[in-house]
Amino acid sequence: MNVYDSARMSDVLRPLGYQPVDLPDSADMIILNTCHIRDKAAEKVFSELGRLRKIKEARKENGEQTIIAVAGCVAQAEGQEILTRAPYVDIVLGPQTYHRLPEMVARAARAGGAVIDTEFPAEQKFDFLPDTAAPQTPGNYTAFLTIQEGCDKFCSFCVVPYTRGAESSRSVASVLAEAQRMADSGVREICLLGQNVNAYHGEGPDGQVWTLARLAATLADIPGILRIRYMTSHPRDMDDSLITAHRDLPALMPFLHLPVQAGSDRILQAMNRGHTADDYRDIVRRLREVRPDLALSSDFIVGHPGETDEDFEATMQLVRDVRFALAYSFKYSQRPGTPAAGAPFQVPEDVKDARLQALQALLREQQDAFNDTLVGQTIPVLFTGEGRKPGQITGRSPWLQPVHVSGPRHLIGQELPVRITERLTNSLGGILVEETVYA
DSSP string covering 121-184: -SS-GGGGS-SS-SS--TT--EEEEE-EE--S---TT--HHHHT-S-EE--HHHHHHHHHHHHH
Q: 330 with 301: CB under 8 angstroms?
A: yes
Q: Is 219 exposed, middle or buried (0-12, 13-18, 19+ CB in 10 A)?
A: buried
Q: Is pLDDT at 281 greater than 90 in this prediction? A: yes
Which helix (H) or strand (E) is 230 found in, with range? Answer: strand 227-231
Q: Is pLDDT at 265 greater than 50 in this prediction? A: yes
Tell me the per-residue pLDDT of 205-251, one tens digit each, with 9 for 90 and over: 999 999 999 999 999 999 999 999 999 999 999 999 999 999 999 99
Sheet of strand 142-146, all strands in order from the earlier edge strand to the far edge? 142-146, 189-193, 227-231
Question: What's the confidence (pLDDT) of residue 274?
Answer: 97
Q: Do 369 and 383 fall into the same domain? A: no
Q: Do 364 and 255 fall into the same domain? A: yes
Provide the residue count of the chain: 439
Average pLDDT over residues 10-29: 92
* End-of-domain residue from the set 68, 96, 117: 117
* Residue in 301, 300, 260, 264 with CA at minimum distance from that of residue 284: 260
Question: What percentage of the chain exceeds 70 in pLDDT?
Answer: 93
Average pLDDT over residues 43-51: 92
Residue 438 lies in a domain: no
Alpha-carbon gap, residue 239 to 228, rounded angstroms: 18
Residue 396 lies in a domain: yes
Q: Do 287 and 189 fall into the same domain? A: yes
The SS3 call for residue 86 is coil
Count of structural domains, the chain:
3
Alpha-carbon gap, residue 189 to 182, rounded angstroms: 9
- Classify the phi-psi angles of 147: left when phi > 0, otherwise alpha if psi is within -120 to 50, otherwise beta: alpha
Average pLDDT over residues 266-279: 98
Q: Is 400 exposed, middle or buried (0-12, 13-18, 19+ CB in 10 A)?
A: middle
* Residue in 231, 223, 232 with CA at minimum distance from that of residue 251: 223
Which carries the bigger pLDDT value, residue 374 or residue 79?
374
Q: Do 368 and 381 fall into the same domain? A: no
* End-of-domain residue from the set 373, 402, 420: 373
Provide the CA 343 distance to its chain's centre, in angstroms: 28
Q: Do 6 and 145 fall into the same domain? A: no
Q: Is pLDDT at 179 greater than 90 in this prediction? A: yes
Which helix (H) or strand (E) is 210 found in, with range? Answer: strand 209-210
> Within a 10 A sphere around the Cβ of 150, how many other Cβ atoms?
21
Q: Do 290 and 231 fall into the same domain? A: yes
Q: Do 167 and 87 fall into the same domain? A: no
Q: Do 14 and 92 fall into the same domain? A: yes
**What's at 32, amino acid-wise?**
L
CATH classification at residue 276: 3.80.30.20
Q: 151 with 196: CB under 8 angstroms?
A: yes
* End-of-domain residue from the set 356, 373, 390: 373
Is 35 annotated among the ligand-binding residues? no
Question: What's the confidence (pLDDT) of residue 129?
Answer: 62
Residue 385 lies in a domain: yes
Strands, E assignment, 294-340 = 295-302, 326-331
Q: Is pLDDT at 325 greater than 50 in this prediction? A: yes
Q: Do 147 and 254 fall into the same domain? A: yes
Tell me the per-residue pLDDT of 54-101, one tens digit each, with 9 for 90 and over: 999 999 999 999 999 999 988 988 889 999 999 999 999 988 888 889
**Helix locations, 333-389, DSSP H:** 349-374
* Vertex 217 angle, CA 212 and 223, to 5°: 130
User: How many angstroms separate the Cα of 150 from the Cα of each of 13, 165, 423?
Assistant: 24, 5, 38
Range of the domain at 133: 125-373
Question: What's the confidence (pLDDT) of residue 95?
Answer: 87
CATH classification at residue 420: 2.40.50.140
Q: Do 316 and 403 fall into the same domain? A: no
Confidence of residue 133 (pLDDT cuts 50, 70, 90): very low
Count of alpha carbons within 13 Å of 438, Cβ hemisphere only?
21
Question: What's the confidence (pLDDT) of residue 40?
Answer: 76
Question: What's the confidence (pLDDT) of residue 96?
Answer: 84
Strand-pair partners of 301? 330
Residue 299 lies in a domain: yes
Q: 33 with 4: CB under 8 angstroms?
A: no
Q: Do 8 and 84 fall into the same domain? A: yes
Alpha-carbon gap, residue 47 to 16, rounded angstroms: 29
Average pLDDT over residues 25-50: 88
User: How many angstroms separate the Cα of 400 from the Cα of each of 3, 60, 189, 294, 352?
Assistant: 18, 45, 11, 12, 29
User: How many angstroms separate the Cα of 334 from the Cα of each of 319, 338, 349, 351?
Assistant: 24, 8, 12, 16
pTM: predicted TM-score of the whole model, two decimal places:
0.86
Q: Do 405 and 270 fall into the same domain? A: no
